[in-house]
A and B are shown apart, each in its own frame.
Chain A
Amino acid sequence: MSNPEKLRYTKEHEWLSDVVDGVATVGITEFAANALGDVVYAQLPEVGETVTEGETCGELESTKSVSDLYSPVSGEIVEANQDVVDDPALVNTAPFEGGWLFKVRLSEEPKDALSFEEYTKLTAGN
């Protein structure tokens, strides 16, 4: 599995991009996408909504289960990926690219984000 080195991660298997003009992009990792199986439904937070680091902000439904989506950062949603709402399989096929989930204008720096090395170590045993 190839987690991009430039991203930051969470224990709940979300990834977080570099912050550009105060805005970061959020998705779930390939590890999470594989564990879920085929994603068939994505409920994403809405533009304008305020999310809090570590709290649920949506859900991802796969053939066998439904999983809460946690926000890895606190801030205001500035965009939700409509492509994923229309075609949830993008989360499986391109988790780090076209399958991104939402963009957040950060209100503070994330406290619990993991580095590439820390996340790789976390998932290595699996």
Chain B
Amino acid sequence: MSTAPRLTALDALHRSLGATMTDFAGWDMPLRYASERDEHNAVRTKAGLFDLSHMGEITLTGPEAVKALDYALVGNISTVGVGRARYTHICQEDGGIVDDLIVYRLGETEYMVVANASNAQVVLDALTERAAGFDTEVRDDRDAYALLAVQGPESPGILASLTDADLDGLKYYAGLPGTVAGVPALIARTGYTGEDGFELFVSPEHAVELWQALTKAGEGVGLVPAGLSCRDTLRLEAGMPLYGHELTTSLTPFDAGLGRVVKFEKEGDFVGRAALEAAAEKAATKAPRKLVGLIAEGRRVPRAGFPVTFGGEVIGEVTSGAPSPTLGKPIAMAYVDAEHAAPGASGVGVDIRGTHEPYEVVALPFYKRQK
């Protein structure tokens, strides 16, 4: 099947900025504007501006919206207060991860679920089906929002100059409606870079206006437009999983080292409960492969799918790898057998196109910001 890629409301702007575009989950998205290394470093030390309009928004409203979400997802959504957000997973009956999600509680009976672009349709279909027995409406809001993210230590200052919203009162993983540069926006203190930052959900018709206002407000403090390439190295350094790499339908949250997102104590049944209880028990008695960090001693870069080896034997597989601008060395996330997963485990390497390159096993994340 070949269809024309979808364009975000900011498409013309990206092209006028000279962005290198790439196909991502059916969308034509900016990969980088100039140097991805410079964009990465700007987000770590100043600020970066991202277009994330490809992400999929789904709204649930109605008296039983929260019950529907508790049944459909593995998290305990009924404990999320108004204006707060929660990271969670949606799983299959067999416990396999369909997607990782952020659920924002926008009002007493209104929730917005944000799914990965590549899974938005699958998640929409699953939520629609799973919510059928509840008094709630599931609304496809993918076209209702453009999503801009300002990430980096300068982002609170940049945003504060454009809004009256109480940013100091807005905690990490919280989101509330407000106005930014005169544009109505859902202002969320979330992101995928390991830095402080904000995600701004706005009507697509306001996207260009908001982008320009943010660009102007960030001019003096080093804000630069940032593409998906540096988003990937930023999240990798921060040890954040990416769907299709660290998370797949063939892994349960327990296999991914994220068993804590599964809340068995919540009321009622939820999709995948029985399988996940078995997975939790298995993980407690016999540890599955563990997700670890690898830091290269040399300069060759491990890529997703490369075998992790020890004494000539394959003991795991790289799920994401890239040169780390912050560490100055290639890094990777990999699932490895439990006996080789301890930080400092010696003799571990990655088979890079036929050569065993030595790697140091470390705990994730590679990078944690100073607060």
Which A residues fall within an 8 A CB radius of B? 34, 37-38, 40-41, 61, 63-64, 66, 89, 92
The 5 closest A-B pairs by CB, nearest first: A40-B323, A38-B37, A41-B299, A61-B301, A63-B36
Write out the residue numbers on chain B whose beta carbons fall within 8 Å of the beta carbon of A64.
Answer: 31, 36, 229, 322
Q: Nearest chain B CB to A115's CB is how many angstroms away?
A: 27
Question: Cβ of A34: which chain B residues have Cβ within 8 Å of it?
Answer: 20
Chain B residues contacting A41 (CB-CB under 8 Å) are 299-301, 323
Q: How far is the CA of A88 from the CA of B353 in the complex (A)?
A: 20
**Cβ of B32 under 8 Å from chain A:** yes
Contact with A63, one of B229, B299, B300, B353 (Cβ below 8 angstroms):
B229
A-contact 0/1 string along B210-251, CB 8 Å cutoff? 000000000000000000010001000000000000000000
Q: Is the CB of A66 within 8 A of B36?
A: no
A41 CA to B36 CA in the complex, in Å?
A: 15
Q: Are A61 and B300 in contact (CB under 8 A)?
A: yes
B109 contacts A by Cβ under 8 Å: no
By CB atoms of chain B within 10 A, which of A40, A41, A66, A89 has the most?
Answer: A40
Residues on A with beta carbons closer than 8 Å to the beta carbon of B45: none
Residues in A whose Cβ lies below 8 Å from that of B20? 34, 37
Residues on A with C-beta less than 8 A from B301 are 40-41, 61, 66
Dominant secondary structure of chain A at its interface with chain B: mixed
Residue contact A37 to B36, C-beta cutoff 8 Å: yes
B35 proximal to A (CB < 8 A): yes
| Pairwise interchain contact B35-A38, C-beta atoms closer than 8 A | yes
| Number of A-B residue pairs having CB atoms within 8 Å of each other in the complex | 37
Complex contacts, B37 vs chain A, CB 8 Å: 38, 63, 89
For B44, what are the chain A residues with a Cβ–Cβ distance below 8 Å? none
Chain B residue nearest in CB terms to A42: B299
B323 and A63 form a contact (CB under 8 A): yes
Question: Could you list 19 further interchain pairs (A-B, Cβ under 8 angstroms) beyond the known A37-B20, A63-B233?
Answer: A34-B20, A37-B31, A37-B35, A38-B323, A40-B299, A40-B301, A40-B323, A41-B300, A61-B300, A61-B301, A61-B323, A63-B36, A63-B322, A64-B31, A64-B36, A64-B229, A64-B322, A66-B353, A89-B37
B35 to chain A: which residues have CB within 8 Å? 37-38, 92
The answer, yes or no, to whether B303 is at the interface (CB within 8 Å) is: yes
**How many Å from the CB of A80 to the closest CB on chain B?**
15
Residue-wise, chain B 94-121 has the 8 Å CB interface mask toward A (1 for contact) of 0000000000000000000000000000
CA distance A101 to B229 in the complex (A): 26
What are 27 A-to-B residue pairs whose CB atoms are below 8 Å? A37-B20, A37-B35, A37-B36, A38-B35, A38-B36, A38-B323, A40-B299, A40-B301, A40-B323, A40-B330, A41-B300, A41-B301, A41-B323, A61-B300, A61-B323, A63-B36, A63-B37, A63-B229, A63-B233, A63-B323, A64-B31, A64-B229, A64-B322, A66-B301, A66-B353, A89-B37, A92-B35
Q: How far is the CA of A61 from the CA of B330 in the complex (A)?
A: 11
Chain A residue with minimal CB distance to B228? Answer: A64
* Residue among A34, A37, A38 with the highest chain B CB neighbour number at 10 A: A38
Q: Which residues of A contact B353 (CB under 8 A)?
A: 66
Give the docked Cα–Cα distance between A52 and B159 (Å): 57
